[in-house]
């Protein structure tokens, strides 16, 4: 690693994991504002797989207590993930999306870095970062249909049922929406007028958010209330894109980075949410062409022409936002002919990320394991 530019070393480190940091004129100022040179130098040595302080201090040649203090500071700032395991407390460097686009916006009070860097973050996402992050078949989030919008529920699998997903969990928390925060801090972008407290986290991630002030613990009942409010407001339920151990439900509006950027991003970029296993269908005899569904669709999959709704099925993510407010009960969701290829768990999801990006998963895991 170079002694002269710790930020370049950190960029190279991120490029070896799930989501790199593409070159851009916005990148260096963001890094310099987020990390001091000494912090960047240290972070470039922290693996993306969790290790104890004892292992890290031994391998990196650093004093254990001094390292623990620094790692705790990084955890508070949403840069390093702290988790509990049978080996003890583990610390891992968070992926670049987590560090730059998720954790900074979860807190109730916006930090100075977010205020200073909002414009750079937004432009970096649209012009550089999202091309790689969203430009592959597998997405980080997948749409799950709003409850009550599927006409035939007999085929609904537990990982496709928002109510069963919530029932299967044992710890619930809510954070602020980081996407909306970035846009509302930036005068170049339209403000989001929805309730910001809508980013749900569960299990170990939820506990981490609460412990470090990036969210608050809530009950299962409060979780259902947030989901109902999101449905009323026309937000998309975007869950962790795997079948097991779901730790996130984002309730995304059309202005969120994952959806809105599709319109602003240069070139053709795939949708930001993996589609659900359902797609919109209509009973033409019941439709009065009121346009409510057209106005609510976050993917611009619907258009009203001469009181007739025109549907572009390739844009539909099966979220049910259009169905939920149809007073005529003219539209509903049906099972897609071909199901989405959803990873079984987080490990399978990560392996597919690496494979789609032309990286060897075994090499990436080996490089980041100090055990």
CA angle 240, 242, 246 (to 5 degrees): 50
pLDDT one-digit tens code per residue, 206-226: 999 999 999 999 999 999 999
Q: What is the pLDDT of residues 270-286, one digit of tens each?
A: 568 899 999 999 999 99
State residue 2's pLDDT score.
47
CA nearest to 7, candidates 32, 24, 19: 32
| pLDDT for the residue 254 | 82
Give this prediction's pTM: 0.93
Per-residue tokens: 315: 């844009």
What pLDDT was estimated at residue 261?
A: 62
For residue 266, what pLDDT is reported? 60
What pLDDT is recorded for position 317? 93
pLDDT at position 259 = 72
Find out whether 32 and 64 touch, Cβ atoms under 8 Å: no
Residue from 86, 73, 95, 133 nearest 10 by CA: 95
Domain borders along the chain are 6-130
Q: What is the pLDDT of residue 50?
A: 96
Q: How confident is the model at residue 33 (pLDDT cuts 50, 70, 90)?
A: very high
Among 146, 82, 144, CA closest to 276: 144
Q: Angle, nearest 10°, between helix axes 53-60 and 64-76?
A: 120
Percentage of the chain with pLDDT > 90?
Answer: 81
- Where is average pLDDT lowest: 29-38, 83-92, 185-194, 267-276? 267-276
- Please list, in sequence order, all residues whose beta carbon lies within 8 angstroms of the beta carbon of residue 85, skipping any fewer than 6 positions away: 50
Q: Give exposure, 56-85, as e/b (b: 16+ Cβ within 10 Å).
A: bbeeeebeeeebbebbbebbebbbbbbeee
Fold (topology level) of 6-130: Arc Repressor Mutant, subunit A (1.10.10)
Residue length, the chain?
371
Q: Would you say residue 1 has pLDDT above 70?
A: no
pLDDT in tens, 336-356: 999 999 999 999 999 999 999
């Amino acid at each position: 690693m170079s002694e002269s530019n710790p930020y370049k070393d950190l960029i190279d480190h991120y490029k070896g994991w799930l989501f790199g940091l593409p070159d851009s004129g916005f990148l260096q100022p963001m890094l310099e504002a987020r990390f001091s040179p000494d912090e960047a130098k240290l972070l470039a040595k922290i693996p993306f797989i969790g290790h104890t302080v004892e292992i890290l201090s031994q391998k990196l040649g650093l004093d254990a207590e001094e390292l623990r203090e620094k790692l705790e500071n990084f955890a508070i700032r949403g840069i390093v993930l702290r988790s509990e395991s049978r080996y003890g407390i583990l610390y891992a460097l968070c992926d670049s999306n987590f560090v730059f686009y998720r954790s900074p916006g979860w807190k109730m009070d916006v930090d100075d870095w977010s205020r200073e860097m909002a414009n750079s973050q937004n432009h970096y996402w649209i012009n550089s970062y999202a091309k790689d992050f969203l430009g592959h078949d597998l997405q980080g989030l997948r749409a799950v249909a709003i409850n009550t919008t599927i006409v035939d529920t007999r085929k609904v699998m537990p990982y496709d049922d928002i109510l069963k997903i919530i029932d299967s969990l044992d710890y619930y928390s809510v954070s602020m929406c980081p996407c909306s925060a970035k846009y509302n801090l930036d005068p170049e972008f339209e403000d989001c007028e929805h309730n910001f407290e809508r980013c749900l986290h569960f299990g170990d991630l939820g506990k981490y958010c609460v412990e470090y002030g990036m969210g608050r613990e809530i009950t299962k009942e409060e979780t259902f209330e947030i989901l109902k409010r999101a449905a009323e407001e026309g937000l998309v339920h975007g869950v962790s894109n795997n079948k097991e151990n779901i730790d996130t439900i984002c309730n995304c509006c059309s202005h969120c980075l994952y959806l809105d950027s599709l319109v602003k991003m240069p070139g053709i970029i795939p949708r930001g949410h993996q589609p659900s296993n359902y797609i919109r269908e209509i009973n033409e005899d019941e439709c009065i062409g009121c346009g409510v569904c057209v106005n609510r669709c976050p993917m611009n999959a619907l258009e009203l022409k001469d009181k007739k709704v025109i549907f572009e099925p390739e844009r539909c993510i099966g979220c049910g936002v259009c169905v939920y407010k149809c007073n005529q009960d003219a539209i509903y969701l049906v099972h897609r002919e071909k199901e989405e290829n959803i990873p079984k768990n987080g490990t399978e999801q990560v392996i597919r990320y690496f494979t789609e990006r032309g990286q060897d998963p075994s090499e990436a895991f080996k490089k980041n394991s100090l055990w």
